[in-house]
Amino acid sequence: MQFTAEQIAQLLQGSVEGDPNATVNKLSRIEEGGEGSLSFLANPAYAQYVYGTTASVVIIGKDFPLTAPVKTTLVRVADAQGAFAKVLEMYNTIKLDKKGVSPQAVISSGATHGENCYIGPLAFIGENVKLGNNVKIYPQCYVGDNVTIGDNTTVFANVTIYSDCVVGAKCIIHSGTVIGSDGFRFATGAPNGASAKIPQIGNVVLEDEVEIGANCAIDRATLGSTILRKGVKFDNLIHIAHNVEVGENTYYAAGGVVAGSTKIGKNCMFSGQVGIIGHLKIADGTIIAAQSGISKNTKAGEAYMGSPAWEASKYRKSYIHFRNLEKLVERIEALEEGK
């Protein structure tokens, strides 16, 4: 991939200061630079680097003030960070634009796929699988029988999708993730202490534009579906148990666990290592701080923290007293001794 400063300016609706024919073929941070690299400057804290950078082209805000001459070519734009994000997206699209079916892939006779698909070496595609257009299945993936995957979805290497699951359009599933493994349910209480596994015959449904990080596990439902609604975004190492529903545009940072049959609303934001017990209702817009344990239903738009968690405003006030607990105990003991 090689572009001139002029081409970049046209793409970003900006203007060139310097050599319009300066060419770039890679991206870099401004403090690293390098001949042929493209960088950006949006944060004033990094302004010092623009005067000595060896990057060939730097994207910069149209009103960003400079106090000395620069050697690099500048592309002035309305929003430097947003413009660079657009370049990153374009770069990533080109880099990941794979097509074709590897002769080393195993594709069952009843499977179908749309146009411009990529199926990498050692990928397995089961019976009656339906892949949409522009779907990318990276090497060593397993796609079980009767799975449907929508247009423009990417499944990175070593992902496992069990039978009967549904993946929507424009989804991204990162390496090591398992979709549709059994829910953790056993019939206990037999007289001899034995337990029997309850068969899990449901599936997992990912709606459009869902992204799942690396090494996540999304369990299939006992009956019906475990559902991640449109626009859900998961970080790495998240476990979603059977029959959970996660509402639209909810974000979940790494290390989270949700127990069975809990219903999570839309537009929620959960920090790392949040645990939620089963059969709860998490209201729309709920915010949960890191390492919190949720053991009761939440209120819409409320923030929670602690384990067990409660409203963040109450938690902070109580925590002040908790930190002073030793002094309070000493005062009480002194009062009792005075008696």
Contact 126, 111 (CB under 8 A): yes
Amino acid identity, position 106: V
Q: Which residue has the tokens 């037999």?
A: 190
Residue 168, pLDDT above cutoff 80: yes
pLDDT reported for residue 151: 98
Q: Do residues 82 and 157 both lie within one domain?
A: no
pLDDT digit string (tens) for 222-241? Answer: 999 999 999 999 999 999 99
Q: Do residues 43 and 145 both lie within one domain?
A: no
Alpha helices (H) in the chain, listed in sequence order: 5-12, 80-95, 312-323, 325-338
pLDDT reported for residue 229: 98
Q: Which of 95, 121, 154 is the last residue of a domain?
A: 95
- Reported confidence tier of residue 307, pLDDT bands at 50, 70, 90: confident
Q: Do residues 169 and 117 both lie within one domain?
A: yes
Residue 189, pLDDT above cutoff 80: no
Q: Do residues 180 and 84 both lie within one domain?
A: no
Q: Do residues 106 and 251 both lie within one domain?
A: yes
Q: Which residue has the tokens 């998240």?
A: 238
Residue 136, pLDDT above cutoff 70: yes
Q: State phi, psi for 161 to the nearest 5 degrees.
A: -120, 110
Q: Do residues 80 and 116 both lie within one domain?
A: no
Average pLDDT of 205-215? 98
pLDDT reported for residue 310: 63
Q: Catalytic pick from 113, 242, 279, 321?
A: 242
Average pLDDT of 186-211? 88
- Reported confidence tier of residue 336, pLDDT bands at 50, 70, 90: confident
113 assigned to active site? no
pLDDT reported for residue 195: 79
Residue 311, pLDDT above cutoff 90: no
Q: Do residues 41 and 110 both lie within one domain?
A: no
Contact 94, 2 (CB under 8 A): no
pLDDT reported for residue 205: 98
178 Cβ contact list (under 8 Å, min separation 6):
159, 160, 162, 216, 217, 218
pLDDT reported for residue 196: 84
- Reported confidence tier of residue 11, pLDDT bands at 50, 70, 90: very high
The residue segments making up the domain with residue 189 are 100-315
Q: Do residues 253 and 288 both lie within one domain?
A: yes
Residue 5, pLDDT above cutoff 90: yes
Average pLDDT of 291-299? 94
What CATH number does the domain containing 65 carry?
A: 3.40.1390.10
Range of lowest pLDDT (7-21, 145-159, 300-314)? 300-314
Report d(CA 265, CA 245) in Å as an integer.
Answer: 8
pLDDT reported for residue 339: 60
Residue 170, pLDDT above cutoff 70: yes
**If you average pLDDT over every residue of the chain, what do you get?**
93
Q: Do residues 123 and 30 both lie within one domain?
A: no
Please check whether residue 76 lies inside any domain of the structure: yes
Q: Which of 45, 72, 95 is the last residue of a domain?
A: 95
- Reported confidence tier of residue 309, pLDDT bands at 50, 70, 90: confident
Using alpha carbons, select from 13, 93, 19, 12 the residue that is nearest to residue 4: 19
SS3 279: coil
Q: How do 203-206 and 196-197 pair as beta strands? A: unpaired
Range of lowest pLDDT (60-69, 121-130, 189-198)? 189-198
pLDDT digit string (tens) for 74-104? Answer: 999 999 999 999 998 888 888 888 899 999 9
Question: Exposed/middle/buried for 21, CB within 10 Å: 0-12, 13-18, 19+?
Answer: exposed
pLDDT reported for residue 27: 92
Q: Do residues 181 and 308 both lie within one domain?
A: yes
- Reported confidence tier of residue 323, pLDDT bands at 50, 70, 90: confident
Report d(CA 263, CA 279) in Å as an integer.
Answer: 7
Contact 230, 251 (CB under 8 A): no
Q: Do residues 121 and 225 both lie within one domain?
A: yes
Q: Do residues 243 and 137 both lie within one domain?
A: yes
Q: Report the share of the chain in percent with pLDDT over 70.
A: 98
Domain count, the chain: 2
Contact 214, 177 (CB under 8 A): yes
255 Cβ contact list (under 8 Å, min separation 6):
235, 236, 237, 238, 272, 273, 274
Contact 304, 294 (CB under 8 A): yes
Contact 288, 309 (CB under 8 A): yes
Contact 150, 172 (CB under 8 A): no
The pTM for the full model equals 0.83
Question: Exposed/middle/buried for 293, CB within 10 Å: 0-12, 13-18, 19+?
Answer: middle
Average pLDDT of 23-36? 92
Question: Exposed/middle/buried for 198, CB within 10 Å: 0-12, 13-18, 19+?
Answer: middle
pLDDT reported for residue 126: 97
